[in-house]
Amino acid sequence: MSTPDLVESLAHEAGGQIAFAFHDLQTGIWARHRADERVPTASVIKLPMLVHIALAVDEGALRWDEPITLAEAVKVAGSGILKELGAGLSLSLRDLCLLMTALSDNTATNMLIDRVGIEAINARAQALGMAQTRLLRRAFSPDTPASIPFGLGVTTADEMAGLLVKIARRQLGDGAAADTVRDILATQQDRAGIPRMLPEGWAYAGKTGAVEALRADAGVITAPDGRRFVLAAFCASMPIVDWTPDNPGLLAIARLAQALLIPDEV
């Protein structure tokens, strides 16, 4: 089955719309579908947040060991563990970035937003060439007119994949920031999307996202022989709310990743 036919089939099965951008870092080949269309990010927007913080540390504006105190008022619902812990806990900036990434902790996310500011995060995205990408509000905050169509953030598959290419090629700052971002992405605990159907020995470092009608995953994937790839995939506008690991959008992303990365096994 050709990639366009597969995407059409997967979108039909999921009942949604699939947008993706895929890049083979060895050959330079790209594969895309609806990659320039704006899509909701859900928690994938936390990836450019992480990049901004890593670059700010690289530039001397922040420190990874800076302590930030958990307050009761900042706790929000959804994914993560901080909402269950006692107020007054001191966490380092790096600890919060790990929680935001590995567990998609929404309280950690808001603590980081409060520390660095939405405007600075979005200005960094713009400076990195992400013209359509925006963090639109804090997690679990009321929607604004700008955020109503998208929720937490907005991006395109192309822009998110392009950011991942910069990370993979160490093209952030002097390279140290990219290494740190990659290491933190490798702690990702949600394996139900891109890495789900990959054989043993494949490595994945990425950021996932989920809201009622959307599943998303964006990461750098490394084959056992060292070949590296980037994939940013979004399955949006799904009609049925399903919070299980077998959400049709997650299955679609997993099958898409398998077809792109190991086509001989599909």
Give mean pLDDT, residues 204-220. 98
pLDDT band at 97 (very low <50, low <70, confident <90, very high): very high
pLDDT tens readout for residues 48-77: 999 999 999 999 999 999 999 999 999 999
pLDDT band at 3 (very low <50, low <70, confident <90, very high): confident
pLDDT tens readout for residues 110-136: 999 999 999 999 999 999 999 999 999
pLDDT for residue 231: 98
* Torsion-angle region of 98 (φ positive above 0: left; ψ -120 to 50: alpha; else: beta): alpha
Q: Which residues are 208's β-sheet partners?
A: 217
pLDDT for residue 264: 76
Is the confidence at residue 1, as pLDDT, over 60?
no
Q: Which residues are 107's β-sheet partners?
A: none
pLDDT for residue 265: 63
pLDDT band at 261 (very low <50, low <70, confident <90, very high): very high
Q: Which residues are 31's β-sheet partners?
A: 22
Q: Are 133 and 157 in contact (CB under 8 A)?
A: no
pLDDT for residue 112: 98
Other beta carbons within 10 angstroms of residue 73's beta carbon come to: 7
Query: How far is the C-alpha of 223 from the C-alpha of 262, rounded, in Å?
Result: 10
pLDDT band at 266 (very low <50, low <70, confident <90, very high): low
pLDDT for residue 239: 93
pLDDT for residue 255: 97
pLDDT for residue 99: 98
Residue 151: phi and psi, rounded to 5, are 85, -130
Q: Which CATH architecture has domain 3-265?
A: 3-Layer(aba) Sandwich (3.40)
pLDDT tens readout for residues 13-28: 999 999 999 999 999 9
Q: Which residues are 134's β-sheet partners?
A: 154
Helix (H, G, I), strand (E, B), or coil: what is residue 125?
Answer: helix
Task: Tell me the average pLDDT of the chain.
Answer: 96
Pairing state between β 203-211 and 153-155:
unpaired
Is the confidence at residue 106, as pLDDT, over 90?
yes
Query: How far is the C-alpha of 240 from the C-alpha of 138, rounded, in Å?
Result: 25
- For 207, the enclosing helix (H) or strand (E) is strand 203-211
Q: Are 35 and 149 in contact (CB under 8 A)?
A: no
User: Is 0.85 topped by the overall pTM?
Assistant: yes
Query: How far is the C-alpha of 103 from the C-alpha of 255, rounded, in Å?
Result: 23
Pairing state between β 134-135 and 30-33:
unpaired
pLDDT band at 33 (very low <50, low <70, confident <90, very high): very high
